[in-house]
A and B are shown apart, each in its own frame.
Chain A
Amino acid sequence: DSHTQYERVGADVTMKCGSMDWDAAVTWTANGTDIDESHLNGSYLILKNVDLTQSGQYSCYEGSSWHLKYQTYLRVGMPPKEPVLMCRSNNYPNGFYCSWHLPTPTYIPNTFNISVIHGTKEMVCEKDAFPKNRCHIRYVQLFSTVKYKVTLTVTNALGKSSTTVTFDEVTIVKPDPPESVVAKPVPNNPRRLEVSWQNPSSWPDPESFPLKFFLRYRPLILDQWQHVELSDGTSHTITDAYAGKEYIIQVAAKDNEIGTWSDWSVAVHATPWTEEPKHLTTEAQITETTSASSSSFMPPPTTKICDKGAVVGSGAVAVCWTAGLVLAAYGVLFI
């Protein structure tokens, strides 16, 4: 009959051939390969200072008859080190989740047991199907003054280890990063970029629990970020971008009053609008005359935005002026 045996890395392992006597003639195999007699002490198999590569199926056969007398699956591994446990509420006020992992692998199966204590009450943390090392709890009460104490115990055949985290309801609040971040150039504005985003979909109630945002941006060629904190709204116009430079932009979110900032969102790239350079037209005219081409000069596609070349300047000014008036009226209404 076969069974599984767990041993620590570096241990000395002695395997007995079932009920056979010490002086019986036997042959041992490891994963089907004969083991040299030098590893035998009588009918016992001695493995000194085992390592991970020695995991496998070990079988013992009676010398002459080749009957299988004993079989075991050796699994070399380690007892668990202190696990890493983290709890976070990305869906406040609905609840929170805890996730964990081992800092180093044990190479053998582990079981995890989690307990959550709130004051005197023990709460059940429901294990998630995916990801595996995660469980979630629904808040029953809100604005609690008593801390939550979460203990995770890892157990395997070679030992156990546990860790505990204690926290207040509000300190573990950390939203997911904002979603659908979009950055676009603003026509006729060479120093502007329009950025918009959405609340993370995991945040259940942005009405009662509004988020504030942190925007950071820099041209790709520089290392220094610029930051803007926005207390409401899910869009912002950057007005000091360097003309013609490609920018990288990210946004983070935080509950207005409690908890910590989310991770940065996925980065988006954008380059501010650039005006079609005027000297290109004259160069093209020279090319036209010298090459004696019969085809008329075709302006590059970008000039379509500007409409007619000569009118671009005044057109842009007209737009700016109108926008300025509208903004001023808006401002007066809402001061």
Chain B
Amino acid sequence: SPAGDSWGIFTFLCAALCNLPALPALNCSEELGAGQSIQKTYDLTRYLEHQLRTLAGTYLNYLGPPFNEPDFNPPRLARATERVPSATVDLDLWRGLTDNARLAANYRAYSRLLCYLRALDGQAGTAELRHRLGHFCSSLQGLVLSIAGVMSSLGYPLPVGPAGPSVPPGTSVAPNDFLKKMDDFWLLKELQTWLWRSAKDFNRLKKKVPPAVVTLRLEARGF
């Protein structure tokens, strides 16, 4: 029936759109000035942080207790610290970071976090959870690209070296189910903390980009 066909097309379009990176403007990243790119990157971290709240809640429920308990406060095991990049940083060091170092730290962190997060996909419980994870990964990829855009517009080289973990995921599988779940728990925790940190990182960067750059780009966009 015609009504059924159009509904099917609509659903297909939605699914296709959902799998695109969150920022359609990324195609024009060269056109965007650093000022606007930083703002967009900041906005994307906020969007992701909001999405992560729901996603983490669902995923932790899938992992089951004690991971989904609000008071759960496990000690940080050495193996977890090696694998997932930590947002934790000495306060004075963080303040003194150059723009380049600040951006590079974010770029490296999210590249690796994306890799680990993708590895979760195949194992997660329900189809809905897998779909949510997939959508989040796409958005996170958008963030990585956005940061790259900012770095290139400011003339900074992209950090070299493996974008992924030093040991490919899947090869260093946790020795038991509980430790694997602990790894997942810390991955989500670090991701959440990085998103909190990035908002502050990009606030600092926002202030430093000269406003002249913003005005020039406005003209280019025909205002």
Whole-angstrom CA separation of A263 from B95 in the bound complex: 29
Q: B204 at interface (Cβ–Cβ under 8 A)?
A: yes
- In the complex, 11 of the A-B residue pairs with CB atoms within 8 angstroms, ordered by the A residue number, are A93-B91, A140-B90, A141-B91, A143-B88, A145-B76, A146-B76, A147-B73, A207-B204, A208-B203, A208-B207, A332-B223
Q: A180 near B: Cβ within 8 Å?
A: no
CA distance A258 to B218 in the complex (A): 31
> B94 at interface (Cβ–Cβ under 8 A)?
yes
Query: Within residues 59 to 104 of chain A, which ones have a CB less than 8 A from any CB in chain B?
Result: 93
A residues 139-169 near B (Cβ < 8 Å) are 139-147, 149, 166
Asked whether any CB of chain B lies closer than 8 Å to the CB of A299, the reply is no
Q: What residues of A have a CB within 8 angstroms of the CB of B88 in the complex?
A: 141-145
Which residues of A lie under 8 Å from residue B73 when comparing CB positions? 146-147, 149, 166
- Is A207 a contact partner of B207 (Cβ separation < 8 A)? yes
Complex interface bits, B1-16 against A, C-beta within 8 A gives 1, otherwise 0: 0000000000000000
Chain B residues with CB under 8 Å of A207's CB are 203-204, 207
- Tell whether A210 is near chain B: CB-to-CB under 8 Å: yes
B177 contacts A by Cβ under 8 Å: no
Question: Which among A142, A209, A256 has the highest number of chain B CB atoms within 10 Å?
Answer: A142
- Asked if B200 contacts A208 (CB within 8 A), the reply is yes
Indicate whether A15 reaches chain B with its CB closer than 8 angstroms.
no
Contact of A256 with B91 in the complex, beta carbons under 8 Å: no
Q: Is B197 an interface residue (CB 8 A)?
A: yes
Binds A, one of B113-121, B141-149, B186-194: B186-194
Q: A interface, how many residues as a size bin?
A: 20 to 34
Contact check, A143 vs B87: say whether CB atoms are below 8 A apart.
yes
B148-205 interface (Cβ within 8 A of A): 186, 189-190, 193-194, 196-197, 199-200, 203-204
User: Chain A nearest CB: distance from B197 CB in Å?
Assistant: 4
Chain B residue nearest in CB terms to A168: B193
CB distance from B221 to the nearest CB of A (A): 10
Q: Are A257 and B89 within 8 A (Cβ)?
A: no
| A256 close to B196 (CB less than 8 A) | no
Q: Which 8 A-B pairs have the closest CB atoms?
A: A143-B87, A143-B197, A257-B199, A147-B73, A208-B204, A145-B189, A142-B91, A145-B193
Q: Is B75 an interface residue (CB 8 A)?
A: yes
Q: When the two chains form their complex, are residues B203 and A142 in contact, meaning their CB atoms are under 8 A apart?
A: no
If A143-B88, A144-B88, A207-B207 are given as contacts, then 9 extra A-B residue pairs at C-beta distance below 8 Å, sorted by A number, are A120-B75, A143-B194, A208-B207, A209-B200, A209-B203, A210-B203, A257-B49, A257-B196, A257-B199
- Residue B71 lies at the interface, judged by CB distance under 8 Å to chain A: yes
Residues of A within 8 A of B91 (CB): 93, 139-142
